Chain A
Amino acid sequence: MVNANRKTESFIYRYAPAIILFISILNEINFNNYEIKYFSFNFAYILIFYYSLKRDGGIGYVFVFISGLFNDVINGTPMGMTSLCYLLLCAAAVYLRNITLRPNLFKDWIFFLITILFLNFITFTYLILFFNYETNYFDQIINISFTFLLYLIFSNLFKLFDNIILTRLN
């Protein structure tokens, strides 16, 4: 019984981020397309960046790739666009982890901002140049700002969640 519980907890610890990512994408609760004016943020960016930064192997690159494809299908963006962004985000997080000796939340935060700015730049450039998509820049700025600001809150929540599970596992 105890062994089964440990197995379940270990499974939750390993796959919970991936499950949350898929649920948020499939349920469209990434707060990207909500009808709240002046409030939107990209939950997937925060989740992927945090776990790629904090865990060796992150959520799992294949999961991230597939979730990106799913997001493209749901949002109607060109296939591979979101996957590319998510994977670049993973790459940035892993790079930061490799060069960091003493982790610091503030530095992570600033690096996250630079990364999402870069990713949005790639996305919009691609969408506008190749697909003639029309975008509202004001909405995008709001989205980036809230994604950046809420990273602090969510990173603490994820940390709390990890601590709870790890305490139970140990």
Chain B
Amino acid sequence: MEPSRDDFVIAIRSAFLKKDNQQIFSLLSLILFSIIFLVLGNFNLKVINFNRTIIKEVVYISSYIASVPENIIKKSFNKISNHFEYYDDYQNIKYEVEELKNKDLLKEIIKYENIELKKLIDDYFIEDSQAYAKVLIDRESPFLRSIIINKGSKNGIKIGMIVYDDIYLIGKVVEVNFLTSRILLISDINSKVPVSIQPLNIQAIMSGLDKQKGKLQYIKREKLINNNSKELTVVTSGSGGMFKSGIPVGKINSTDTLENDQIIVNFYRNFSQLKYVKVLSHIKKDTNIDQSNKNFFEKNNDQLLKLSNEIEVNKILKQQKFIDDKIRAKLEIENTKLRKDFINIEEKLKKINQSLDRNKNIKFLELNLLYGPKCRKSFLRPNLYKINTVEYRNCILKKGLIGKI
């Protein structure tokens, strides 16, 4: 036991106290340093705090310097991954743009068709005059909801002109002075606007109810309740010729309709916040179709037809391409299968040929044993054949029956 304890002590002493040439401190002294650091760290001594601050400064600066390569790598990696993401985004956007272009084209076609049809039914309005005005007075009367704008007859404003906020209907001009005009808002109880509820295409009359709401009259509630769409859009119907058709007015919430007795329209615009408005008048476009117009329409129609056809053809071609791709893929699979089969058959054929050759050889050898003397050239039979010649082989295979003997 004594020597083993000595070994242990020597090993421990060597581990803790031995110093190499290049070591300034022994392990034990450094461990003691650490313990002193730890113990003194518990007391709030100025010297320790000062040392700690210096070490922290050194560490933070070193850490910053040491992390430069890592940061460069990280940044480069992020850059590369971002580039890949951008590429993917680009591909997606490209695809979306293509789709949108197609949709836009369809929309354009529908728009032109709509214009053509409206012209045919004499319901196509074009802008006659347009003026932008500032709202001067916003009257908060409980009976009359109207606003005063800073444009009048001097600026070409006339009674009956339609007033917009952006593209939304807000009212019509009811009084015109030289420099100002009065606009009756559609939220006024006296305002009656013929409207159409889309997409159900139900006609009704809307009158004002509240600052932000209107109510529908002369309409059956059941018609609205029995629909599946959550939100219905209210646009002007154009009946009566007061308003141009298709101007957006507001929305109907189906759940509100179920809860209330009245059918409420929520306006798109807040009428108490109006600052600038657009005053427009519309006139019907002259629809006397003369010969040149007819030609123009026909040309236009032809182009529309062509475009529609092209879109159809494009669709068909896409489908065809899809089918072709599928067929090609199938054919490729079959081709590989057939190739494999062909290789297998070739191998089998080779084997069969080899076995046939072998059989022939065996047969030749058998016949050789029997008919060899009849074909082999010898001293007594000089007219016969030498062994291993073609003639000899033929002779053997014919069982020696040749006329030479």
Which residues in A have some Cβ–Cβ distance to B below 8 Å?
Answer: 22-23, 26-27, 29, 56-57, 60-62, 64-65, 68-70, 73-74, 78-81, 83-84, 87-88, 90-91, 94-95, 98-99, 126, 130
* Cα-based distance from A61 to B19 in the complex (angstroms): 10
Enumerate chain B residues within 8 angstroms of A79, measured Cβ to Cβ: 37-38, 41, 48, 52, 55
**Chain A: which residue is nearest B10 at the CB level?**
A98
Q: Is the CB of A80 within 8 A of B34?
A: yes
Enumerate chain B residues within 8 angstroms of A87, measured Cβ to Cβ: 27, 30-31, 34
B292 at the interface (CB under 8 A from A): no
B62 at the interface (CB under 8 A from A): yes
B67 at the interface (CB under 8 A from A): yes
Q: Is the CB of B35 within 8 A of A26?
A: no
Q: Is the CB of B63 within 8 A of A94?
A: no
Given A90-B27, A130-B42, check contact A95 B59 (CB 8 Å): no
Q: Is the CB of B70 within 8 A of A29?
A: yes
Which listed residue, A29, A78, A94, touches B41 by the CB 8 Å rule? A78
* Cα-based distance from A61 to B15 in the complex (angstroms): 12
* Cα-based distance from A98 to B23 in the complex (angstroms): 18
B20 at the interface (CB under 8 A from A): yes
B38-66 vs A, Cβ < 8 Å mask (1 yes, 0 no): 10011000001000100110011011001
B1-20 vs A, Cβ < 8 Å mask (1 yes, 0 no): 00000011011101110101
**Distance of A80 from chain B, by nearest CB (Å):** 3
* Cα-based distance from A90 to B16 in the complex (angstroms): 9
Q: Is the CB of B34 within 8 A of A27?
A: no
**Distance of A57 from chain B, by nearest CB (Å):** 4
Main secondary structure of the interface of B (DSSP, over half): helix
**Distance of A12 from chain B, by nearest CB (Å):** 16
Q: Is the CB of B34 within 8 A of A68?
A: yes
B77 at the interface (CB under 8 A from A): no
Q: Is the CB of B15 within 8 A of A26?
A: no
**Distance of B91 from chain A, by nearest CB (Å):** 31
**Chain A: which residue is nearest B26 at the CB level?**
A61
**Distance of B201 from chain A, by nearest CB (Å):** 58
Which residues in B have some Cβ–Cβ distance to A below 8 Å?
Answer: 7-8, 10-12, 14-16, 18, 20, 22-27, 30-31, 33-38, 41-42, 48, 52, 55-56, 59-60, 62-63, 66-67, 70
* Cα-based distance from A127 to B35 in the complex (angstroms): 14
* Cα-based distance from A83 to B56 in the complex (angstroms): 15
Q: Is the CB of A73 within 8 A of B67?
A: no
Q: Is the CB of A57 within 8 A of B23?
A: yes
Q: Is the CB of B27 within 8 A of A80?
A: no
**Distance of B136 from chain A, by nearest CB (Å):** 62
Main secondary structure of the interface of A (DSSP, over half): helix
Q: Is the CB of A98 within 8 A of B20?
A: no
Q: Is the CB of A94 within 8 A of B56?
A: no
**Chain A: which residue is nearest B37 at the CB level?**
A80
**Distance of A42 from chain B, by nearest CB (Å):** 17
* Cα-based distance from A108 to B351 in the complex (angstroms): 63
Q: Is the CB of B25 within 8 A of A26?
A: no
Q: Is the CB of B14 within 8 A of A98?
A: yes
Which listed residue, B8, B23, B59, B60, touches A61 by the CB 8 Å rule? B23
Q: Is the CB of B34 within 8 A of A91?
A: no
Given A57-B22, A79-B37, check contact A99 B55 (CB 8 Å): no
**Distance of B24 from chain A, by nearest CB (Å):** 6
* Cα-based distance from A114 to B231 in the complex (angstroms): 71
**Chain A: which residue is nearest B51 at the CB level?**
A79
* Cα-based distance from A74 to B59 in the complex (angstroms): 8
Q: Is the CB of A80 within 8 A of B42?
A: no
* Cα-based distance from A126 to B35 in the complex (angstroms): 12
Q: Is the CB of B55 within 8 A of A69?
A: yes
**Additional A-B contacts beyond A69-B59, A79-B48, A94-B18 (12; CB < 8 A):** A26-B59, A27-B67, A57-B22, A65-B25, A73-B52, A79-B37, A79-B52, A79-B55, A87-B34, A94-B27, A95-B15, A98-B15
